[in-house]
A and B are shown apart, each in its own frame.
Chain A
Amino acid sequence: MSAPLLEIRDLHVALPAGSERPYAVQGVDLDLAPNEILCIVGESGSGKSLMSRSIMGLLPKPHVRVSQGSIRFGDEDLVTVSDARLRQIRGSDIAMIFQEPMTALNPVMTIGDQIDEVFRFHAKMRRKERQERALSLLDDVHIPDPKATMSAYPHELSGGQRQRAMIAMALALDPKIIIADEPTTALDVTAQAQILKLIKEMQEAHNTGVLFITHDFGVVADIADRVAVMQGGIMVEAGTAAEVLNNPQHPYTQNLIESVPSLTPRPPRVQAAEPVLQIENLTKTFRSGGGLLGFGAKERIVHAAKDVTLELRKGETLGIVGESGSGKSTVARCIVRLVDAEEGKILLNGTDLRPLGRAEMRPYRARIQMVFQDPFASLNPRTKVGKIIAQGPMIQGVPKAEAQERTRELLSIVGLDERAYDRYPHEFSGGQRQRIGIARALALNPDVLVADEPVSALDVSIQAQILELLDEIRERMTLSMIFITHDLRVAAQVCDRLAVMRSGVVVETGPTAEIFRDPQHEYTRALLGAVPGKEWRAG
């Protein structure tokens, strides 16, 4: 191995007094060599992001600061170097790619101008030359139509293209080090696969050292040369990718890797053939624009669901998988009648729910319940947990005492302490909140549970626990479940049957194991092909 590009020794990042812990990062030692990809893996709160930001001096000063240790880059220490010098290094020697390209790009500035800035501040070049360089950069990162992209604003590009533009910006001055902070987390799986490939390609072409921060072991398996695992600000394990992934030493790493769902579908369960819920030719279109006398903007029509036909059998879990914009959430919302579909039938035990009015629908509300994606936004922050759960049954006419009794029972079923009853949602962690959300849905004794990405906002170890809980509850209460997810690994572990959606259309349905073994539609094949780390943990 050649001399390291970056040497981090005994790095401590101090948090302001009164925080959960005194140090966000504690005693981290790390080397980054040229032409390698080093993945820093950890769950939320592990300090991986702050660690990477301290390298570029991007900590939210003055509250959070490097209190001890050194970061050697060449013959300088980035901890003590002057602000002016640090500015020179940023963007030219060390560049950064962020997680959410929509917010990381200035919304009111064109892509061309934002790339141009890097040249303007670091190199003396004429405007024409700068523009040519920017164009060729956009071409390098395979953006279709680089010329148009130059004058486009961030909101006019797709997520994947925005991230490509972000990468172009980072590559502008051929930096020695690129720090990528969860660069693919906000992207769809197919876009993620492309961006990972692009980063790898760029890194090889330019001999760059890449510090890649991620929480996803699948991504690590696809891209990493070396891996460092962080927990609570401490680096618990480091080694080559093969070592860490296949033979983890530290119990935390072992647990994390254990929690990554396998891509091999679990054996199908014996099911009843009788359907609980039948969706027939469900259609939902969103319109915008148009307006008065046709003087409005061009009318835009989005077919969020088009002729969707699904069947949910008693006791089974039906997965709906697809990327963002595929209409999977719209279908879920139509079933729960949060959104009114304009055509089709929603048959619950033979009764069509779609045409029912508010009052007629009320008795059926309890029969279908929903678990939402974001456990932080879906619970009323001003209402105590007990009330959140008991409210549903009480509205349906259950006496107060009985509803409260049931609530306490449910809390213990979902694995929460009974004392949770009198506390507010903000006192709980994300995983616990999702348990509350599940208890709330179960309080009404539904026949059908619709879960819309219930684990995608959670860390992988918490995700495993919640999936286990859902499994347990499904057995215990003979629930039928519609499970919406973008993550095929999760789908493989949870769903008996799958429906694959794209642009509002169901392109393929079938038993999970069959779809994984022999996908019929090319889109399903593309989705399966894009799952990160599929060679590593296929089975």
Chain B
Amino acid sequence: MSRTARRLRYVFKRLLQALPIVLAIVIVNFFLLHMAEGDAVDVLAGEAGSATPEYMAELRAKFGLDQPLPVQLLVYLKNVFSFDLGYSFRHEMPVLDLVLDRFWPTLLLMVSTILLAVGFGIVLGLLAATGLNTWRDTLISIFALVTYATPLFWVGLMFIVIFALNLGWFPTSGMKNVAAFNDTWSWANIKDVAHHLVLPTITLSLFYLALYTRLMRASMLEQAGMDYVTTARAKGLTENRIMFVHVLRNALLPVVTMAGVQVGALIGGSVIVESVFAWPGLGMLAFEALFSRDLNLLLGIFLLSALLVVAVNLVVDIIYSSLDPRIEVG
């Protein structure tokens, strides 16, 4: 079987394996959220201020919250498999529309963050490792240590203070200027979104950037001591060739693995960054949903995040198998 055919089969297999995983995630999430005290009716009633117990019971019956849990679960599962994620009482919109609407900003933020963190992490790690124990290495290591230790929200706030308020280079918040452009793919609109994207992306990526820098540096140094490097040297290759062709590709493997694992954590981190920069993404939506006990919406967000993580892991595995021929797909 050719490599392409094997790979296609592998993708198909992985998608098939993802089904039970997603199902399990849905069920676990459902029970997890129902373990928390209170429901949407509590919040609605609390905000209204003068709800009688009868009215609350009526509301619960209307939303189906008076049914026993297993029944609620079955109803929910049935709905999920017909692509109906329920209705958000808070936003008065179907969850699916709401979630999809917020999904693209988050995806945009995530992808740009990963690219920035992995890309610069690799470059910085490489620079540090090739200039081991020089000022370059020291500088990069200090930078990595400081960014690694600084809390995300603080960095975000400081960026706003310095680059948005004092210098005025970037907007403070949001994803675009007030409905100025309706055409999504117009050049002006893309530029506007990109302009808004700069600060949140840098904020979110700094921590991971530091992590990958350190990992890349360590991995380069480890690989530089391997036997095949001595072989390459014995062949008369230049140090540059050895570093950039032989060592680099082997050193990339742990970084790619790590990045793949951390995509999930990135969604968690995006909650903070989206809140700080008022980025209209899933993270911010999740934050709001949590406080208004909007369980349907939360479940929808969780489901989408889970699907995202499953998909990203698949992509990472495919990248990995093309980087490392020893990994067999199929």
Physical interaction between A and B: yes
Binding site for B on A (CB under 8 A): 56, 58, 87-92, 95-96, 98, 100, 103-109, 117-118, 121-122, 153, 155, 166, 169, 292-293, 295-298
Distance in Å: Cβ of B252 to nearest Cβ of chain A: 9
Task: Tell me the bound Cα distance from A72 to B231 in angstroms.
Answer: 22
> Is A105 a contact of B234 with CB atoms below 8 Å?
no
Supposing A58-B234, A95-B234 touch, asked if A103 and B227 sit within 8 A by C-beta, the answer is yes
**Complex Cα gap A153–B228 (Å):** 13
Do residues B235 and A106 form an inter-chain contact, with CB atoms below 8 A?
no
Q: Is the CB of A106 within 8 A of B325?
A: no
Q: Nearest residue in B to A92 (C-beta to C-beta)? A: B236
CB distance from B155 to the nearest CB of A (A): 36
Set of chain B residues within 8 Å of A117, measured between Cβ atoms? 232, 235, 237, 241
| Interchain CA distance A385-B134 in the complex, whole Å | 43
Q: Is the CB of A91 within 8 A of B228?
A: no
Q: Note all chain B residues with C-beta closer than 8 A to A107.
A: 228, 250, 324-326
Q: Which residues on B sit within 8 Å (CB–CB) of A296?
A: 13, 330
Contact B250 A108 (CB under 8 A): yes
Among the listed B236, B245, B250, B326, which residue makes an inter-chain contact with A118, where contact means beta carbons less than 8 Å apart? B236
In the complex, what distance in Å separates the CA atom of A169 from the CA atom of B245?
18
Closest to A297 in B: B330
Measured in the bound complex, the distance between the Cα atoms of B233 and A117 in whole Å is 11
Residue on B nearest A298 in the bound complex, by CB: B330
The 10 listed contacts between A and B (C-beta, < 8 Å) are A58-B234, A90-B235, A91-B234, A95-B235, A107-B250, A109-B245, A117-B237, A117-B241, A122-B236, A169-B235
Q: Which residues of B contact A92 (CB under 8 A)?
A: 236
1/0 contact string of B161-172 vs chain A (CB within 8 Å): 000000000000
B246 within 8 A of A: yes
CB pair A104–B231 under 8 Å, yes or no, is yes
Known: A292-B13, A297-B330. A108 touches B324 (CB 8 A): yes
User: Judging by beta carbons under 8 Å apart, are A121 and B241 in contact?
Assistant: yes
Contact A87 B238 (CB under 8 A): yes
What's the minimum C-beta distance from A107 to chain B, rounded to whole angstroms?
A: 6
User: B230's closest neighbor in chain A, by CB?
Assistant: A58
Instruction: State which of A95, A105, A122, A155 has its C-beta within 8 Å of the C-beta of B228.
Output: A105
CB neighbours of B323 from chain A (8 A): 108
Known contacts A108-B250, A295-B16: A56-B234 contact under CB 8 Å:
yes
Q: Are A90 and B246 in contact (CB under 8 A)?
A: no
CA of A297 to CA of B328, assembled, Å: 8
Contacts A121-B235, A297-B330 supplied; 13 other A-B pairs, CB < 8 Å: A58-B234, A87-B238, A88-B236, A90-B233, A90-B234, A90-B235, A105-B228, A107-B324, A107-B326, A108-B325, A121-B241, A295-B12, A296-B13
Are A105 and B231 closer than 8 Å at their CB atoms? yes
- Whole-angstrom distance between the Cβ of A372 and the nearest chain B Cβ: 25
In the complex, the 7 A-B pairs of residues with the closest C-beta atoms, listed nearest first: A91-B236, A90-B236, A295-B13, A103-B227, A91-B235, A96-B234, A153-B325
Quick check: is B226 within 8 A (CB to CB) of the other chain?
A: yes
Query: Judging by beta carbons under 8 Å apart, are B238 and A121 in contact?
Result: yes
Chain B interface size, under 10 / 10 to 19 / 20 to 34 / 35 or more: 20 to 34
Q: Does residue B9 face the partner (Cβ distance < 8 Å to A)?
A: yes
- How many residue pairs link A and B with beta carbons under 8 A? The number is 85
Using CB atoms, name the residue of chain A closest to B325. A153
What is the distance, in angstroms, from B17's C-beta to the closest C-beta of chain A? Answer: 6
In the docked arrangement, what's the CA distance between A132 and B7, Å?
A: 31
Q: Which residues of B contact A87 (CB under 8 A)?
A: 236-238
When distances are taken between beta carbons in the complex, the residues of chain A under 8 Å from B237 are 87, 91, 117, 121
Check: B34 CB closer than 8 A to any chain A CB.
no
Residues from chain A with a CB closer than 8 A to the CB of B324 are: 107-108
Q: Are A104 and B230 in contact (CB under 8 A)?
A: yes
Q: How far is the CA of A48 from the CA of B330 in the complex (A)?
A: 45
Distance in Å from the Cβ of B329 to the closest Cβ of chain A? 8
Min C-beta distance of B220 to chain A, whole Å: 15
When distances are taken between beta carbons in the complex, the residues of chain A under 8 Å from B246 are 106, 109
Mask of B238-280 contacts with A, CB within 8 angstroms, 1/0 = 1001000110011000000000000000000000000000000
B191 to A: closest C-beta gap in Å: 40
B232 touches A106 (CB 8 A): yes
What's the Cα separation between A166 and B230 when bound, in Å?
Answer: 13
Residues in B with CB closer than 8 Å to A109 are 245-246, 249
Also in contact, A103 and B228, with CB within 8 A (given A108-B249, A108-B250, A295-B12): yes
CB distance from A441 to the nearest CB of B (A): 34
A395 CB, min distance to chain B CBs, angstroms: 38
The residue from A90, A95, A155, A295 contacting B326, defined by CB atoms under 8 A apart: A155
On whether the beta carbons of B325 and A98 are closer than 8 Å, the reply is no
With beta carbons under 8 angstroms apart, the residue of A98, A108, A292 that contacts B231 is: A98
B249 contacts across to A, CB distance below 8 A: 108-109
- The answer for the CA separation of A122 and B236 in the assembled complex, in Å, is 8
Q: Roughly how many angstroms separate A107 CA and B223 CA in the complex, as a whole number?
A: 11
A469 to chain B, nearest CB (A): 34
Output the nearest chain A residue to B324 by Cβ-Cβ distance: A108
Tell me the minimal C-beta distance from B232 to chain A in angstroms. 7
Within 8 A of A (CB), among B9-36: 9, 12-13, 16-17
Q: How far is the CA of A58 from the CA of B242 in the complex (A)?
A: 14
Bound-state Cα–Cα, A121 to B236, Å: 7
Measured CB to CB, the closest approach of chain B to A305, in angstroms, equals: 26
B326: chain A residues within 8 A (beta carbon):
107-108, 153, 155
- Which residues in A have their C-beta under 8 angstroms from that of B241? 117, 121
Query: Are B228 and A89 interface neighbours, CB within 8 A?
Result: no
Bound state CA distance, A159 and B224, in angstroms?
Answer: 23
**Docked pose: A534 CA to B12 CA in angstroms:** 56
Q: Give chain B residues whose Cβ lies under 8 Å from the Cβ of A90.
A: 233-236
Task: For B223, give the chain A residue with the smallest CB separation.
Answer: A106
Q: How far is the CA of A245 from the CA of B324 in the complex (A)?
A: 47
Return chain B residues, CB-CB under 8 Å to A155: 325-326
Q: Return B19 CB to nearest CB of chain A, in Å.
A: 11
What's the least CB distance linking A450 to chain B, in Å? 33
Q: How far is the CA of A17 from the CA of B155 in the complex (A)?
A: 46
